[in-house]
A and B are shown apart, each in its own frame.
Chain A
Amino acid sequence: MKKMKQRQRGVILALLPFVLMVLAFQVVPLLSMLTGSFRREDGTGFTLGNYLHAVQSAYYMQAIKNSLLISVSSSVIGIAAGLLCAYCITRFTPAVRDRLLMLSNMTSNFAGVPLAFAYIILLGNNGVFTLLFKQWGWSVFSDFNLYSWSGLILVYVYFQIPLALLLLYPAFYGIREQWKEAAALLGAGSWQFWRTVGLPVLSPAIFGTLGILFANAMGAYATAYALVGGNYNLLAVRIGSLVAGDVVTQPQMGSTLAVLLALSTLLAVYLNQRMVRLTEGFVSKSPRKRLWRREASAGVRTAALEEAGQ
């Protein structure tokens, strides 16, 4: 009896710090943000006014619209390029493939402030290429402005592709050579095979990855902040300046926009989790091994996610 009690105490002692840390730095802040979004400007009472204000304000709606647009475009471009490259990468020998993947993963460390900075050196107002193109008289590029929509897309796609590649390429190994042979025997061309067999099999992985890429782009802060600062109206940057800006802060409004942002990313990650479960259904050869690999890639995935989201 005494031993049981002691063991119980040990278990509680082992769990207590963990529970406290998670409560203090994860649960409480999120709840505080949620309640804050329903508070009046002076921090009291209950109101839906903040949400109404967010929806009615052209300024905030523009931030939301810009963020959604840039996230969707960069994710779709990222997926398209990622699919193509993932297919290509399966055509190489494993040794070459691993080296290519390593290179691509390596560049995912190069995110946030350093990445924005590299692009400023290359294509900024006094960027090396900007000046070169001007000197060579390549007027095609004279319209390009790094600190605008097109520049942001270019930089966002940069951190989306390695992530897409990493998440997509394992799915290609779920497509067996025998299926292609069977399809060919039945008279299907390569295009027909991919359209009717290949892509449907890949689709859960594609949609799942799309969710991750979207969440990644929605939450990306460091890159946008370092590149355009306050000059381009993006949701994440807007929230940052509402809460920790140099001018007057509006924590209630910041909380409201943050709740909206969190809703969109939570939804996207939820989509990913659902799709991952779906993929497990029919791609796995040995489910256990698949799961492990997914968890391993989840680790790298978060690495990229966090870095891009800084």
Chain B
Amino acid sequence: MNTRRSGLAPRTFMLLLMAYLLLPLLATGLYAFAENWQNTLLPEAWTFSWFGEMFKDIRFLEALWTSLYLCLITVVLSLAVMLPAVFVITVYFPRWESFMKGIVVLPYAVPGVVAAVGLIRAYSSGPLNISGTAYLLVGAYFVVILPYMYQGIRNSLLSVSAVELLNAAELLGASRRSAFVNVILPNIWPGVIVSALLSFSVLFGEFVLTNMLVGGHIQTIQVYLYRRVGESGHLASAIAISYFVFILLLSALLMRLGTLGKR
């Protein structure tokens, strides 16, 4: 029975790991609340003023708003496009699934910087000149969250046995469409919400595509943060910490939903 008891060595190593991982976070947090912090182990004086300044900065609020609505639009668009498509593929063409897996794995085998090169080349001239616009960015974002949405929707469909449900609904006289809307959708909704939130948090942290595709025209929170780093360290810390807390709350919500879904 001793095997489940953690010895001294595992504890030491995990403690070291946690120190390594949490130290930068902790320092950013302290820096955000420090009035000044030089030559001492801990800051000498504390203040909330950096956070106050952050909310007074109109550019910050604008960037936050831009991030929120760009992410929201993309996630909603993705839901509208992916729900019917994944449903049809899972139910009618299960043979295509390996092909789909290939398409879906591509976004994470292709780094953001490479995707940006292709997008810039394809859309900066010719009939569809949408370079630097939000349309291009939303399209790029759509591909970024493709794996999460596909995987999430597909897993939800499989775990509620969508095909059997559908057959049962049809036997009882429902049309395919009404079976999808009234039977399948309500059943897969919890899982779909989880992948939508996950996608949202991924997009919220997106930097490379945003910076390369529309960096000069549209400022999201990440681009804004990058611009501010050089100016005031304390203010940038306050922003970084707020961003992190927001993402943390989002993932806490995700986890709660995930465990609720399992029950």
Task: Enumerate chain B residues within 8 angstroms of A87, measured Cβ to Cβ.
Answer: 10
Question: Which A residues touch B111, using CB under 8 A?
Answer: 215, 218-221, 236, 261-262, 265, 309
Tell me the smallest distance from the CB of B217 to a CB of chain A, in Å: 12
Residues of B within 8 A of A102 (CB): 255
Residue from the list B40, B123, B151 in contact with A298, Cβ < 8 A: B151
A14 touching B87, Cβ below 8 Å: yes
Other-chain residue from B3, B202, B205, B251 in contact with A106 (beta carbon distance below 8 A): B251
Contact of B108 among A109, A120, A302 (CB under 8 A): A302
Check if A117 sits within 8 Å of B240, measured CB to CB.
yes
Name the one of A10, A118, A220, A236 contacting B28, with C-beta atoms under 8 angstroms.
A118
Asked whether, in the complex, the Cβ of B226 is within 8 Å of the Cβ of A135, the reply is no
- Note all chain B residues with C-beta closer than 8 A to A254: 117
Interface 0/1 of B42-78, CB less than 8 Å to A:
0000000000000000000000000000000000000
A278 contacts chain B at the CB level, 8 A cutoff: no
Residue of A nearest to B221 (CB): A113
Residues of chain A lying within 8 A (CB to CB) of residue B22: 103, 107
B117 and A255 within 8 A (CB):
yes
Report whether B248 and A109 are in contact in the complex, using a CB–CB cutoff of 8 Å.
Answer: yes
Determine whether A299 belongs to the interface, using a CB cutoff of 8 Å to chain B: yes
Please tell me if the beta carbons of B85 and A18 are within 8 angstroms of each other in the complex. Answer: yes
The 8 A CB mask of A107-125 against B (1 = contact, 0 = none) is 1011111111111111000
Q: CA A139 – CA B182 in complex, angstroms?
A: 70
Is the CB of A204 closer than 8 A to any CB of chain B?
Answer: no
Question: A243–B212 contact, CB under 8 A?
Answer: yes
Residues of chain A within 8 A (CB-CB) of B110 are 30, 262, 265-266
CB distance from A114 to the nearest CB of B (A): 4
The DSSP consensus for interface residues of chain B is helix
| Minimum CB–CB distance for B112 against chain A, Å | 5
Q: In the bound complex, do residue A177 and residue B3 qualify as a contact, i.e. CB atoms below 8 Å apart?
A: yes
A interface footprint on B1-37 (CB within 8 Å = 1, 0 otherwise): 0011111011101100110111111011001000001
Asked if B25 contacts A110 (CB within 8 A), the reply is yes
Complex interface bits, A59-101 against B, C-beta within 8 A gives 1, otherwise 0: 0000000000000000000000100110111011100100010
Contact of B183 with A by CB under 8 A: no
Q: In the bound complex, how far is the Cα of B143 from the Cα of A190, in angstroms?
A: 47
Contact B21 A107 (CB under 8 A): yes
B residues near A270, Cβ cutoff 8 Å: 109
B20 touches A33 (CB 8 A): no
B162 within 8 A of A: no
* Complex CA–CA separation, A305 to B110 (angstroms): 11
Residue A279, interface by CB 8 Å = no
Chain A interface bracket (under 10, 10 to 19, 20 to 34, 35 or more):
35 or more
Known: A88-B10, A114-B225. A215 touches B28 (CB 8 A): no
* Cβ contact within 8 Å between A158 and B229: no
Number of interface residues of B (CB under 8 A): 95
Contact among A100, A222, A305 with B14 in the assembled complex (CB-CB below 8 Å): A100
At the interface, yes or no: B88 with Cβ under 8 Å from chain A?
A: yes
B134 proximal to A (CB < 8 A): no
Interface status of B119 (Cβ within 8 A of chain A): yes
Q: From residue A223, how far is it (CB to closest CB) to chain B in Å? A: 9
B160 proximal to A (CB < 8 A): no
CB distance from A96 to the nearest CB of B (A): 7
Contacts A122-B24, A131-B39; A306 near B112 (Cβ below 8 A): yes
Q: Is the CB of B113 within 8 A of A221?
A: yes
Q: Across the interface, do A106 and B248 meet the contact criterion of CB distance under 8 Å?
A: yes
B189: chain A residues at CB < 8 Å are: none
B236 within 8 Å of A (CB atoms): yes
A25, B74: Cα distance in complex, Å: 13
Chain A residues within an 8 Å CB radius of B169: none
- Chain B: which residue is nearest A7 at the CB level? B176
Shortest distance between the CB of B104 and any CB in chain A (Å) = 9
Q: Are A269 and B14 in contact (CB under 8 A)?
A: no
Residue of B21, B80, B146, B240 near A104 (CB, 8 A) is: B21
B144 is an interface residue with CB less than 8 A from chain A: yes
A235 CB, nearest partner CB in chain B, Å: 9
The 8 A-B pairs at the shortest CB distance, nearest first, are namely A219-B111, A29-B118, A18-B85, A88-B10, A14-B84, A118-B24, A33-B118, A310-B207
Pairs across A and B, CB under 8 Å, 29 listed: A13-B84, A14-B84, A19-B85, A30-B115, A85-B13, A88-B11, A107-B21, A109-B251, A110-B24, A111-B205, A117-B225, A120-B233, A121-B233, A122-B27, A128-B31, A128-B37, A220-B111, A222-B211, A239-B113, A243-B116, A261-B111, A262-B109, A265-B109, A266-B110, A273-B105, A299-B152, A303-B201, A303-B202, A306-B112
- Given A15-B88, A88-B10, A161-B17: 16 more A-B contacts, CB < 8 Å: A7-B176, A18-B81, A26-B143, A32-B122, A88-B11, A89-B14, A91-B3, A107-B21, A118-B25, A118-B28, A118-B240, A218-B111, A219-B114, A243-B120, A243-B212, A251-B121
